[in-house]
Structure 1
């Protein structure tokens, strides 16, 4: 399998400034495309900003602005992963991440695990999805989702090669966030033999929250493949050697999923 180029975008995402955030997202997509990336990944709720109690921030999925992102995915032959607070036709509110790919309909992942601060306002998603682009199978989790190991395992069992984990995780310094991620995201990568890519919002969001800017790539061996800290909008492209997956998954003592005794665990 060929190398895959993944651009993780650390983005400032003010609340109730959808047009501003969309314009910045479009610019970042174009800039990322100049780095010949295959995937460009934005933080959780980058289009709407993160303020769980402010439901006026929710946005319906609308062809007007979505057509622009579809056009860019087609133009640059890339997958675009971007997030928002979604107001569904049912009037339910979801934390949603959208997937734009050339010649495919828009796909979405709705956050399955809601934090105690989000649960009073959002509805839970209930679909564990794995998507495909350029021969790569990938899953999406959103922030709090990553604390539930079985979700990563479920995606790995559905043949995920990469799990993207966009965050809207406030408080703390980038160094503190880095230490936190390394405690649990390394385990998600190592236990399931998948790449794990995480990225956070950055800076003040006009709603009283401040986000430590960081992106991180972990290899399927559980080792850190790259990390970037930022105090303003910044992107970094990580080059993934996908042959590492085959090396680990054909090793009797480094690939654990085939020996998992699901019949006992799922009783």
Structure 2
């Protein structure tokens, strides 16, 4: 399988400035296209900004701006992963990440695990989706989702090769966020033999939250493949050697997933 180029966008995402955030997102997509990237991945809720208790910030999935992102995905033959606070047709509020790919309908992932700050306001998603692009299977998890190992395992069992972790994780320094991510995200990659890519918002969001700008790429061997600290809007492109997946998954002592005894776990639950 060919190498895959993944661009992670550390973005400042002020709340209630959807048009501004969308314009910046489009500019980043165009810049990523100039780097011949296959995937461009934005932080959680990059289009709306992150406000767990202010539901007036939520937007519906409007065909106008979605068609523009879909057109760019088609034009540049890339997958665009971008997020928002979604107000669904039923009136429920979701933390949602959208997937735009050429010649395919727009797909979405709704955050499954809500933090204690989000749970009073948002609804949980319930679809452990795995998507496909350029021969690569991928999953999406949003921020707090990353702390639940079984979700990554469920995606790996659905043949995920890479799991993207867009974050809207405030507080702390980039170095502190890096230390936190290294504690659990490396385990998600190593245990399941998948690439892991994470990216956070950056800076003040006009709603009292400040985000440490950071992105991270981890290989299916659990080793850090790249880390980037940002103090402003910044994008980083990583070239993934997809042959590393086969190297890990054909090694008897480095690929654990086929040997898990799921029946025992089910019997104890």
Name the TM tier (shorter chain).
over 0.9
1:193 maps to 193
Mapped pair 1:245 → 2:224: no
1:64 maps to 64
1:46-57 paired onto structure 2 within 5 Å = 46-57=46-57
| C-alpha separation in 2, matches of 1:154 and 1:129 | 9
Distance apart, 1:266 and its partner CA: 1.5
| C-alpha separation in 1, matches of 2:82 and 2:95 | 11
2:156 maps to 156
Gaps of 5+ in 1: none
Mapped pair 1:3 → 2:3: yes
1:224 maps to 224
Gaps of 5+ in 2: none
Distance apart, 1:52 and its partner CA: 0.8
Number of aligned residue pairs = 267
Distance apart, 1:4 and its partner CA: 0.2
| C-alpha separation in 1, matches of 2:69 and 2:266 | 40
SS at match of 2:170: coil
SS at match of 2:264: helix
**Deviation string, structure 1 residues 169-202 (Cα, Å, up to 9, x no partner):** 0000000000000000000000000000000000
1:91-106 paired onto structure 2 within 5 Å = 91-106=91-106
Give the ranges of 4+ consecutive aligned residues of structure 1 lying more than 6 Å apart after TM superposition.
none
- How high is the TM-score relative to the length of structure 2? 0.99
SS at match of 1:266: helix
- How high is the TM-score relative to the length of structure 1? 1.00
**Deviation string, structure 1 residues 10-66 (Cα, Å, up to 9, x no partner):** 000000000000000000000011000000000000000001111000000010110
SS at match of 2:191: helix
| C-alpha separation in 2, matches of 1:249 and 1:165 | 22
